[in-house]
Amino acid sequence: MSEEKKEREPLFSSKNLKLLKEPLNMSNPITVQVLGICSALAVTAKLKPAVVMTLSVIVVMAVSNVVISLLRNGIPPRIRIIVQLVVIATMVILVDQVLKAFVYDVSKQLSVFVGLIITNCIIMGRLEAFAMSNKPWPAFLDGIGNALGYGVILIIVAFFREFLGSGTIFDIKVIPQGFYDFGYANNGLMILPPMALITVGVIIWVQRYRNRALIEEN
């Protein structure tokens, strides 16, 4: 109790900053906690949908974390999953309507994956593990941090897939025409779904090589 009172001091105390930074690397939702893989892979053929997806997840995650954290003392434990799903689904409907209204073409590309944010395990997982037992402000930071950690992987994967697969970044051509004249060709395989998996596999490889603590036994 006394510790909670002290937290009054600065909004960005080192403990709170840790909530924001940890998920970017040491407890990254995708590569370490293995949450929310489904949507991460499907929207990464191009950078633009990946960025839009990241923003949507940040919004849904931050708001639903705060809402659940505010309600945490009023939710009967037995029906908490339904309550969480309702909060998330409401947020996702809002985000979906906004996307349809302002960036219709991206919303078409994302197709069912906006809806699938509802079952994105990152959100459920963090609500269950963090927001249910913490105050709104840390829950908000935790939401932003985890959504950013998710977004970082999404953007790295999308960058490589778009760069190698179509030779563009944000639909702007970056590989000079001269290369193509010399016989350079875009790697069409990178656009296909299986390469997303392999790219993530390689990212995990690199990350664990640098952070020995994360290596699994077996």
Partner 1 sequence: MQEIFNIFIKSIFIDNMVFAYFLGMCSYLAVSKTVDTSFGLGIAVIFVLGITVPVDYLLNEHILKPGALAWLDPGFADVDLSFLSFILFIAIIASMVQLVEMVVEKFSPALYASLGIFLPLIAVNCAILGGSLFMQQRDYQSLAHATSFGLGSGVGFFLAIVGIAAIREKIRYSSIPPALRGLGITFIITGLMGIAFMSFLGIKL
**Positions in the binding site for partner 1 (CB under 8 A):** 31, 34-42, 81-82, 85-86, 89-90, 92-93, 96-97, 111-112, 115-116, 118-121, 124, 192-198, 200-202, 204-206, 208-209, 215-218
Helix 136-166, helix 14-21: angle, nearest 10:
30
Q: Rounded CA gap, 98 and 104, in Å?
A: 9
Nearer to partner 1, 11 or 189 (CB): 189
Nearer to partner 1, 41 or 68 (CB): 41
Nearer to partner 1, 7 or 128 (CB): 128
The answer to whether 118 touches 111, Cβ cutoff 8 Å, is no
| Minimum gap (Å) between residue 191 Cβ and partner 1 | 12
Report the DSSP beta bridge partners of residue 169: 172
Amino acid at 103: V
Contacts of 86-93 with CB under 8 Å at 24 or more apart are: 88/60, 88/64, 88/117, 88/118, 88/123, 88/124, 88/127, 89/118, 91/59, 91/60, 91/63, 91/64, 92/60, 92/117, 92/118
* Residue in the structure block whose two tokens are 């219709």: 104
| Minimum gap (Å) between residue 42 Cβ and partner 1 | 5
| Minimum gap (Å) between residue 87 Cβ and partner 1 | 11
| Minimum gap (Å) between residue 83 Cβ and partner 1 | 11
Nearer to partner 1, 115 or 136 (CB): 115
Nearer to partner 1, 11 or 79 (CB): 79
Nearer to partner 1, 11 or 192 (CB): 192
| Minimum gap (Å) between residue 108 Cβ and partner 1 | 10
Burial of 14-31, coded b for 16+ CB within 10 Å and e otherwise, reads eebeebbbbbbeeebbbb
- Reference 28, options 214, 192, 218; nearest CA is 214
| Minimum gap (Å) between residue 196 Cβ and partner 1 | 7
Distance of CA 146 to the CA centre of its chain: 7
